[in-house]
Amino acid sequence: MRVEDGFQLAEVDPDSTPGAPDRKHAENQLEKNLDELGSLQERLFAESKFGGTESVLLVLQAMDTAGKGGILRHVVGGIDPQGVHVHAFKAPTDEEKAHDFLWRVRKELPQPGIIGVFDRSHYEDVLIHRVRAFSTPEVIEERYGIINEFEAELVASGTTVIKVMLHISSDEQKQRLQERLDRPDKHWKFNPGDIDEREHWAAYQEAYQIALTRTSTRDAPWNVVPANHKWYARWAVQGLLLDALRALDPQYPAADFDVEEQKRRLAAT
């Protein structure tokens, strides 16, 4: 769901599945679309070898357990790894803290021809920073504008920016955290800090509401994807990626060398 004027996060039902067929058909589509996704990605990559400057950046934001990992495995994992650059932004290091908040982000931007994926992003600097008061309200206020300018530059330089918030309900998160605690093979996915964050649920929803509406621009709009149903979120995010690539419509580039001459050279070897 595109974030536009008057958007209210609280009105989005995390259980809903807008636009999707039933689960079985959605899962079939996810699988079937891999070929087209692969073909579009290859052409995007091919263009870049002959001077193409276009790239794609998928930004994933969500509360813990919302399913970013599943998107990475089931949507991004279907794409040729040579054409993908995934980066997970963790709590910043001392070196990163010594620079402006976009410094570490700029270093991970996709090169031409590449589909970049951010697992969390510069939006943490207006989300957790707001909720936990890691920055002053004035600094955070300023960051919305800085982000919009930054993303506008990115888009102007040829990067299609797809911003996705995976939206789960508080109850669904509770259930997923419970599962991580119940299953020893899931303990590694759990961190006591996850519950600290959960205790700020309402404040996070508010921080998201503000960030989404302040930074959903025409060039780089936000999409809120209901994510209580994992199959739906995967289907929806694949669809956003496919739409972006179809709009770019990359083409195999024409050779910048004399094909017949190279055939003669090859024959002589």
Residue with tokens 């279907």: 78
The token pair at 114 is 């590449």
Residue with tokens 């003669």: 264
State yes or no: residue 269 binds a second copy (CB under 8 A): yes
State yes or no: residue 76 binds a second copy (CB under 8 A): yes
* Gap between the Cα atoms of 226 and 236, Å rounded: 9
Residue with tokens 């008061």: 133
Provide the residue type at 208 as one letter: Y
* Gap between the Cα atoms of 142 and 99, Å rounded: 16
Question: Which residue in the set 97, 99, 107, 187 belongs to the binding site for a second copy (CB under 8 A)?
Answer: 187
Binding segment for a second copy (CB under 8 A), chosen from 16-24, 89-97, 143-151, 173-181, is: 173-181
Least distance from a second copy to the Cβ atom of residue 115, Å = 11
Question: Which residue in the set 5, 10, 11, 81 belongs to the binding site for a second copy (CB under 8 A)?
Answer: 81
Provide the residue type at 68 as one letter: K
State yes or no: residue 73 binds a second copy (CB under 8 A): yes
Q: Are 44 and 52 in contact (CB under 8 A)?
A: yes
Closest to 177 in 3D by CA, of 158, 156, 157, 198: 198
Closest to 177 in 3D by CA, of 65, 258, 56: 65
> Between residue 223 and residue 252, which ones bind a second copy under the rule CB under 8 A?
252
Least distance from a second copy to the Cβ atom of residue 245, Å = 17
Stretch 28-67: interaction string toward a second copy, x if CB under 8 A: ------------------xx-xx-----------------
Binding segment for a second copy (CB under 8 A), chosen from 54-62, 74-82, 96-104, 229-237, is: 74-82
The token pair at 212 is 């989404």
Provide the residue type at 190 as one letter: F
State yes or no: residue 190 binds a second copy (CB under 8 A): yes
Q: Interface residues with a second copy (CB under 8 A)? A: 46-47, 49-50, 69, 72-73, 76-77, 79-82, 84, 86, 88, 117, 119, 174, 177-178, 181, 184-185, 187-192, 195, 198-199, 201, 252-255, 257, 259, 262-263, 265-266, 269
